[in-house]
Structure 1
Amino acid sequence: MPRPTAAQLAYGSCTVIFSTLAMLLLSQTSSGLGIAVIAFSALALGLLVAMTVPLPRTRTVATPQPTPVVQQRMPAPREPVAATVEPIREPSTP
């Protein structure tokens, strides 16, 4: 279990102190059992607040993603067409 941070300790302690004072003032109890119940509930509330404070995130180093190789469609190589040279035949004139 990781150690609590300073923020968690501060939030939890303030919650315990202020919630104890508020519940004692609002309930106006003077019995020992009532004060014990209020103190226990304030302690539970402070623990709940301290544990729900978000923890600092650890930095993760992102691994570079390999760049995808783009395959381009190339036309198939054509065989050279042999150019045949034919003599030009002109009609003979009589």
Structure 2
Amino acid sequence: MPRPNAAQLAYGSATVVFATVALLLLSRTTTALGVAVICATGLILGLLVAVTMPARRKAEPSAVAHVPQHGENRAPAVRVGAGADTRIGS
């Protein structure tokens, strides 16, 4: 299994914190067993978010623009120069 990236860790941690606080506030539990169950539920939710979040993939080699190497054929360049047609006069 590949290591989680920073975004996965951040979203998973935020899910643990917010889910645990929300569940504690909504349930209004005061027993140790209830708090332990809610904390375990928050940890499981955070783990699920971190695992199911898609990881960023590197660009495919075919998706990268082709840069011509030395010696490859290139399109001919248009030559611009000062000629008879650029003179101003009578």
TM-score range (shorter-chain normalised) is 0.5 to 0.7
What count of residue pairs does the alignment treat as equivalent? Answer: 63
Q: Which has the larger radius of gyration?
A: 1
More helix by share: 2
In structure 1, the residue matched to 2:61 is 61
Alignment gaps of 5+ in structure 2: 63-90
In structure 2, the residue matched to 1:68 is none
Write out the 4+ residue segments of structure 1 that deviate beyond 4 Å after TM superposition. none
Counterparts of 1:61 and 1:26 in 2: how far apart (Å)?
50
CA RMSD of aligned residues (A): 1.4
Deviations 1:48-86 (A, max 9, x none): 001111111122223xxxxxxxxxxxxxxxxxxxxxxxx
Paired amino acid for 2:41:
S
1:45 matches 2:36:
no
1:23 matches 2:23:
yes
Normalization by structure 2: what TM-score? Answer: 0.66
Identical-residue share of aligned pairs (%): 60
Paired amino acid for 2:61:
V
Counterparts of 2:20 and 2:54 in 1: how far apart (Å)?
24
Counterparts of 2:17 and 2:10 in 1: how far apart (Å)?
11
